[in-house]
Amino acid sequence: MSTTIRLNDSTLRDGSHAVRHQYTTDQVRRVVRALDDAHVEMIEVTHGDGLGGSTFNYGFSRTDELDLIEAAVDEARHAKIAALLLPGVGTIADLKEAALRGVSVVRIATHCSEADVAIQHFQAAREMGLETGGFLMLSHRLAPAELAAQARIMVDAGCECVFVVDSAGHLIMEQAADRVRAVLDEVGGDAEVGFHGHQNLSFGVANSLLAVREGATQVDGTLYGLGAGAGNAPLEVLATVFDRLGMDIGGVDVTGLQNAAEEVLRPMVERLPMMDRGSIVQGQMGVYNSFLFHAERASQRYGVPAQDILREIGRRGYVGGQEDMLIDVAVELQNKSLSLAVS
């Protein structure tokens, strides 16, 4: 008997980065309706940076994320509505309010080496009766065995599925597979393992397939690949590939997802993510994908090429939450350029 692979949709969370967090309740309802009709089991809805992410540093939402969550819960007939929480950005109080609005799943995200900052959040979520997932972001920054040790911290705290998260689209084939295998060897039997891929170097779908072959049972994607950087693994492509290979995807309607991407989401989006120079540099240097628009804005303000800013923050190893540091890098590069011009 084949293992059922759960395809999770993050169009209304990770995809929020690509639309600068400007979703409306009507748009959320239309996307949720299409995904629900296609039998997607879990739909994630929040600001791109999770609960509490609507701030000056990360970008303000057009519509309060709790109102978006409430609209999604009201629209879904079968799907579970999930929220993302980054400790330090969102709080347990935010999580409680999201649960009151109807969220039944929370995914708690930390930098890959800082799983311990989420212990109290997992414990609180389980006490609320929520399904829990854990995101180990920028998973390429740790070797497989080290990543597995962080996964163990999450599972011991109450995480039911640990996700190897390729936040920069940096992992290539065995690099993804080896991390999934190491995490599964550590927590298998106690928790599931999932994979969350991005397309910066065009390996999001391939890495997701390899993750499943190594034992991952949950895989994330977004309609049309909408997301930070070059975008996420496209959910409609994941479903098509897995179905073509005879994998059990839990009754997801492949044609329905293809239609949802083309007919529902595509008309809403002015700019789709692509593998352009900036996002390729992110994948090359292992740069957190939500930095792309921040780098582009700093480039316009200070006259420094965005790709140079991204390369420099890659060399410095910045992580999610340090978006404000891009300004410092841009100013330094501008001053260096002016000094060279004078000399």
Residue range 87-135, pLDDT digits in tens = 999 999 999 999 999 999 999 999 999 999 999 999 999 999 999 999 9
pLDDT at 1: 45
**pLDDT above 50 (res 335):** yes
Label residue 342 by pLDDT band (50, 70, 90): low
The residue whose two tokens read 């997801």 is 252
Residue 288 labeled ligand binder: yes
Label residue 223 by pLDDT band (50, 70, 90): very high
pLDDT at 338: 72
Q: Is 5 helix (H, G, I), strand (E, B) or coil?
A: coil
From 303, 280, 301, 87, select the one nearest 199 (Cα to Cα): 280
Q: Is 11 helix (H, G, I), strand (E, B) or coil?
A: strand
pLDDT at 296: 84
Label residue 340 by pLDDT band (50, 70, 90): low
* C-alpha to C-alpha distance for 70 and 32, rounded to whole angstroms: 12
Residues 79-91 pLDDT 10s: 999 999 999 999 9
pLDDT at 155: 98
- Percentage of the chain lying above the pLDDT 90 cut: 76
Residues 234-252 pLDDT 10s: 999 999 999 999 999 999 9
4 Cβ contact list (under 8 Å, min separation 6): 217, 248, 249, 250
Clarify whether 294 is annotated catalytic: no
What are the domain boundaries of the chain?
Answer: 6-268, 290-342
Residue 167 labeled ligand binder: yes
Record: fold of 290-342? Helicase, Ruva Protein; domain 3 (1.10.8)
Higher pLDDT, 276 or 322: 276
From 45, 100, 47, select the one nearest 76 (Cα to Cα): 45
Cα 311 off chain centre by: 21
Residue 67 labeled ligand binder: no
Residues 189-221 pLDDT 10s: 999 999 999 999 999 999 999 999 999 999 999
pLDDT at 341: 66
Over range 274-300, report the average pLDDT. 87
The residue whose two tokens read 């959910």 is 235
Mean pLDDT, the chain, rounded, equals 93
Catalytic member of 17, 21, 170, 294: 17
**pLDDT above 50 (res 313):** yes
Residue 196 labeled ligand binder: yes
* C-alpha to C-alpha distance for 184 and 173, rounded to whole angstroms: 17
- Percentage of the chain lying above the pLDDT 70 cut: 98
Give the pair of three-digit tokens for residue 286. Answer: 């292992």
270 Cβ contact list (under 8 Å, min separation 6): 19
The residue whose two tokens read 């309010």 is 97
* C-alpha to C-alpha distance for 236 and 253, rounded to whole angstroms: 9
Q: Which CATH number fits domain 6-268: 3.40.50.620, 3.20.20.70, 2.40.50.100, 3.30.70.20?
A: 3.20.20.70
